[in-house]
Amino acid sequence: MLSKIKNISRIITWCPKKSCLKTLKNHEILIENGFIVDVGTQVGKAEIEFDASGRLLTPSFIDSHTHPIFFSNRSNEFNQRVNGKSYQSIAESGGGIISSIDNVRNCTEDELFEYSMSHINYFVKHGTTVIEAKSGYGLTLEDELKSLRVIKKINKSSKIELIPTFMGAHDFPPEFKNNHDYYVDLICDEMLPLVAEQKLAEYCDVFCEKGYFTVSQSERILETAKKYGLKPRLHADEFNDSGAALLAAKVGAVSADHLMEVSDLGIRELAKNNVIATLLPGTTFFLGRDNYADGRKMVDMGCQVALATDFNPGSSTLQSMSFIISLAVLHCGLTIEEAFVGATFNGAKALNREKKMGAIHKGHRANLLFWDIESIEEIPYWLGSDRIVYVMKEGKIIYENQSIG
């Protein structure tokens, strides 16, 4: 069945052929089976017509780095940080990722599903229709598979799409604190084969950082993952220039994320090898730091930059991509246009979805935002106050802001 969106003031979208944003005035959008089949000044008749009431339309947001599968929160650690303790010192005293590991291990799969599902609608209300979702708070074979099954269940039940990533290499669990290589063996020899066999993940991510997984350990995990059909991505150079960006380029990762301490050589290698540089300024903000990633340098050196929330229970509880755009403009040196593309089209590229998402073109999914704004300059301007009226996913309205609409 054909449906049409009419009475649109402007459409703002990325034009891949010209590598720039374009503005379409007084256009209509024709949709069939959830996909855009035409965009033009007149697209013909349709059985269903949706009146945009003069709204501005953009692609919906794509959040290409999240950790949404956890149980219970870590607000007590937030309180410790605002009272002077560092993230690292909290982790060293039994908090941090280890705290979330204990919570996931001690809950049932149904409990984990219900708790994780409760966060999903917050993404929707902020205009996000697709998220990358990582495991990584179980760190046993059983609990990692449990977490990935929960992602699969949420994908079938929620209003948005989750793209699953296996991240057994998020940290070393307490039982392996003195035998890191044995845990790497467990990931490569037991976890990855079963994740692949059960088709529970598309990607494999590793936290390559001083105090976590070394470059050689990370390379072994990612090369093993590739043998099982999982695509590599990396937490890279967040706290130190560990050489993780160079590894991301070497193994053909689709994305290298964080990058606050990346070297110029690392940036050049990411650009040369078409690895998306995904910035997570919400983490820097939430942790009360000032070492934001230098997005300006990355763009000027040829990198394609994406933005994401890094939503997780310990270092970023943000779920608004509009707010992430604000942070990227204020602290990472990106222009508003670059940040907008980073939250839409380049977010899709960071998930190998740019041919179907992240722009408003024929053949793309009808994942759209209807805004109560005059231009995209207002997205970061209304800091923390989204002006989204409707969220559409695959041609259907999945959220309406009653206070505006």
Domains 2-58+359-400 and 61-349 are alike in CATH topology: no
pLDDT band with cut points at 50, 70 and 90 for residue 18: confident
30-74, pLDDT tens digit by residue? Answer: 999 999 999 999 998 999 999 999 999 999 999 999 999 999 888
- Going by CATH, does the domain composed of 61-349 fall within 3.30.70.2190? no
What pLDDT was estimated at residue 98?
78
Tell me which CATH code domain 2-58+359-400 carries. Answer: 2.30.40.10
Average pLDDT of span 281-300: 96
Q: What mean pLDDT, rounded, does the chain reach?
A: 95
pLDDT, tens digit, 9 for 90 and up, residues 114-150 = 999 999 989 999 999 999 999 999 999 999 999 999 9
- Asked whether the predicted pLDDT for residue 248 surpasses 80, the reply is yes
pLDDT at 83 (0 to 100): 84
In this predicted structure, the answer to whether residue 366 has a pLDDT above a threshold of 90 is: yes
Query: pLDDT value at position 391?
Result: 98
Check residue 322 and give its pLDDT: 97
Domain range list for the chain: 2-58+359-400, 61-349
What is the C-alpha separation between 87 and 84, in angstroms, rounded? 10
* pLDDT for 64: 98
> Residue 47 has what pLDDT?
94
**The pTM is what?**
0.96
Q: What is the tens place of the pLDDT at every residue in 162-176?
A: 999 999 999 999 999
Tell me what pLDDT residue 405 has.
57
Res. 80: pLDDT tops 90: no
Of all residues in the chain, what percent carry a pLDDT higher than 70?
A: 100
